[in-house]
Structure 1
Amino acid sequence: MSLDGAVERREGSPAGNGNGNGNGPVMAPPARPTYGDRRLRLNPNTEHKPERYDDVQSEFDPAIFSSLERHLPPSMLEVPRDAKVQFMKEILARYLPEGERNRVQRHKEYRHKLMLAYQPLHKELYNLHPSAFFVPSFLKAVNDNPEESFRNILSEPSPGIYTFAMLQPSFCELLLDEVENFEKWVNAVKFKIMRPNTMNKYGAVLDDFGLETMLNKLMEEFISPIARVFFPEVGGSTLDSHHGFVVEYGKDKDVELGFHVDDSEVTLNVCLGKDFSGGELFFRGVRCDKHVNTETQPEEILDYSHVPGQAVLHRGRHRHGARPTTSGHRINMLLWCRSSVFREMKKYQKDFSSWCGECQREKKERQRQSLAATKMAFLKGCGGSNI
């Protein structure tokens, strides 16, 4: 689901001027502060311990409420949990119009039916086993945790694009088997399959058939520590939800992927295999919504060739695409990691020069012009004093 499109808040109807019983006009009770009157804190209250929301019935993941609670205004931290939930629901509802919320609810029901019917082929995939999933170098870097450990295993072929060895070959094979088994089962029982996004006609949503818990742990315990270090300006330190899926390219599959940005703050893209040629990723710079179609600068151009087990980590707003897979069959696992807090804060900002390449260039140009104007005024002033 996309959380980028906010909808206008509907204000309550104004109170009428009803008459009392001879005692003058009845005063309307003070209106409850609305979303527009209160904003989330930009910096989280790290000392506050959020409540649990596992029992809350909502189209949003309970982890999102726990994440948002640290950003509540101080006045909201001590109110009853129900009041916090209502306040946070008002905020989250701005991201999704009613029709989209209904679609999300129908998808939850679809997912529930699918998981009740599908029998996993490799049950060990559904719980994250780090030593069986990850190569030792990646596991050691995450356990050691400081930035130096990450930089020891990461390559940065272009600013903001990180590549590293991540998945064991045995894990890749198991996941490929599981996806193939799921697709055969879907075809056999004629169960409708949801595709990963609007651009891919082949592939499957891993969350839909039971891998959501495993992928959430992958995000929280293994991707978030890296994102906190390298992508804090785009919500890397507040990731709280994900969309996990595989995409398939080759003969009789998708061949290429057009130029686009992801519906994520941070994207993990790992090649699972198989034998293939072509399919290179091409990157063309990071952009905010305003500048998504602006010109690419020479230093922003990068082409990357996939290697099975190798991961690419980048900002979701990093424009990219995939060149045609010319032979064989390529399958990639993607994890779109999202931050509700970042998406909320983005609505209050106009300048994204901390991460948008075009905003940075515009800011530097304004600074250059300001400096030039100041210098000119200074020179004119000096010239005038010598007359």
Structure 2
Amino acid sequence: MSVDSSVDRRDESQTAGNGNGNGVVTVCNRSIYSSQRLRLNRNEAHQSENYDDLDLDFNSSLYGKLEQYLPPNMLTVARDVKLEFMKEILDRYLTEHDRIRPLHKQIYDMHPTTFFVPSFIKAITENTEESLRSIISEPSPGVYTFEMLQPDFCELLLSEVESFEKWVQEAKFKIMRPNTMNKYGAVLDDFGLETMLDHLMNNFIRPISKVFFPEVGGTSLDSHHGFVVEYGKDRDYELGFHVDDSEVTLNVCLGKQFSGGELFFRGVRCDKHVNTDTQPEEVFDYSHVPGHGVLHRGRHRHGARPTTSGHRTNLLLWCRSSVFRESRKYQRDFPNWCGECLLEKKERQRQSVEATKKELLKREGEPMVSVIP
């Protein structure tokens, strides 16, 4: 992408100098940088400016991301110069229909006291296994539930999703659905919530995962896929039996009024055993409560029963670990988190013990042989 150099120029009396001293960039600055080209690849090492204090057309995080694509000679100029350059890019290349304008700007940046219930904030702040276990229940092995989101935040996020979907329809755009199984819902990163969800994963979900899911990369979560799913009339009806493309999955019910839609869990499985039978102790059903979160391994087989009335919307965050995924390539032994692998391992151990016993009994039954030198 390049910026056209044909920037409108005023007469010399209007363009003298580099700025007016009040944070307003003059056209002279624009003309200097108007022919610059953005980088093809993001400069991840560059620390972007903070634009949160400004009233902007787009979410402030967008400008921070775009800044990492600026040409090298622009990275050290004043913030207002960079901002004007980026505004010009957005003005030139985005039509009015392309502009996703936030309805509730406060949800795009993490504000823990308005997002989370006090008990959740307290446990994360103390960040000990004891504090986390004090707010988290384990109704079935590997499935953890807890009160998490404030009702007001749930309403704001639902309203934002509805606004986004309305904009998509009016602009006649094709929305990216969350996955291959859901026909309704939206990817939250697509309308500016990537930074907020990164914060959610790194500072709130990873501390919990370090305690409860260390064996599947819970200590090294480094990327996410965040989305909402919608069930009910004129929406998805149910969700089939599956596993997630994640190491750890957060599932939070946002509302609204509904009946049905229970999650059903059927044990953790590796790729080799994903379609094996379910053991009786692995059967568990969970009824959604608005504002309450469910945390489980991505490989924990599950699905959603029909939502029989009303409308249910859930926030999903698939958390991934590149370190764990790389280590799995070299795994040779049974993974200790797969239920079927554990059964196979126990069976091999049992067979080994039985074989050893038979060998010992056989030796005890043999007659003593006297050896005379």
Superposed CA offset, 1:73-118 (max 9, x none): xxxxxxxxxxxxxxxxxxxxxxxxxxxxxxxxxxxxxxx9799610
Match of 2:210 in 1: 228
Distance 1:217 1:116, change over 3 A: farther
Matches within 5 A, 1:133-144: 133-144=115-126
User: Is 2:189 aligned against 1:207?
Assistant: yes
Superposed CA offset, 1:114-149 (max 9, x none): 996100000000000000000011111011111111
User: Is 2:348 aligned against 1:366?
Assistant: yes
| Alignment check: 8 A CA contact 1:56 1:62 kept | no
Instruction: Give the alignment partner of residue 348 of structure 1, picking from 323, 326, 330.
Output: 330
User: Is 2:130 aligned against 1:148?
Assistant: yes
The alignment's C-alpha RMSD in Å is 1.9
- Give 1 or 2 for the bigger CA radius of gyration: 2
CA distance in 2, matches of 1:193, 1:352: 41
Match of 2:257 in 1: 275
Match of 1:334 in 2: 316
Return the offset for 1:207: 0.6
User: Is 2:368 aligned against 1:376?
Assistant: no
TM-score by length of 1: 0.71
Which one has more relative contact order, counting CA pairs under 8 Å at least 6 apart? Answer: 1
User: Is 2:289 aligned against 1:304?
Assistant: no
CA distance in 1, matches of 2:304, 2:40: 40
Return the offset for 1:352: 3.7
Secondary structure at the counterpart of residue 268 of structure 1: strand
TM-score by length of 2: 0.73
Match of 1:33 in 2: none
CA distance in 2, matches of 1:274, 1:200: 18
Matches within 5 A, 1:247-266: 247-266=229-248
| Alignment check: 8 A CA contact 1:288 1:352 kept | no
Amino acid at match of 1:128: M
Provide structure 2 residue ranges, at least 5 long, that are not aligned to the other structure.
Answer: 1-38, 46-92
Distance 1:178 1:312, change over 3 A: same
Count of equivalent residues: 283
User: Is 2:41 aligned against 1:57?
Assistant: yes
Superposed CA offset, 1:200-224 (max 9, x none): 0000000110000000000000000
Return the offset for 1:354: 1.3
Secondary structure at the counterpart of residue 153 of structure 1: coil
Secondary structure at the counterpart of residue 154 of structure 2: helix
Instruction: Give the alignment partner of residue 126 of structure 1, picking from 104, 108, 127.
Output: 108
CA distance in 2, matches of 1:129, 1:386: 81
CA distance in 2, matches of 1:113, 1:291: 48
Superposed CA offset, 1:298-354 (max 9, x none): 000000000000000000000000000000000000000001111111010133431
CA distance in 1, matches of 2:342, 2:194: 37
CA distance in 2, matches of 1:333, 1:366: 41
| Alignment check: 8 A CA contact 2:334 2:345 kept | no
Amino acid at match of 2:99: A
Point out 4+ residue stretches in structure 1 off by more than 3 angstroms: 112-116
Superposed CA offset, 1:173-202 (max 9, x none): 000000000001110111221000000000
Instruction: Give the alignment partner of residue 272 of structure 2, picking from 271, 277, 290.
Output: 290
Amino acid at match of 1:136: P
Amino acid at match of 1:242: H
| Alignment check: 8 A CA contact 1:224 1:239 kept | yes
CA distance in 2, matches of 1:350, 1:118: 48
User: Is 2:139 aligned against 1:157?
Assistant: yes
Percent identity (aligned): 74
Matches within 5 A, 1:5-154: 57=41, 117-154=99-136
CA distance in 2, matches of 1:262, 1:336: 8
CA distance in 1, matches of 2:334, 2:129: 24
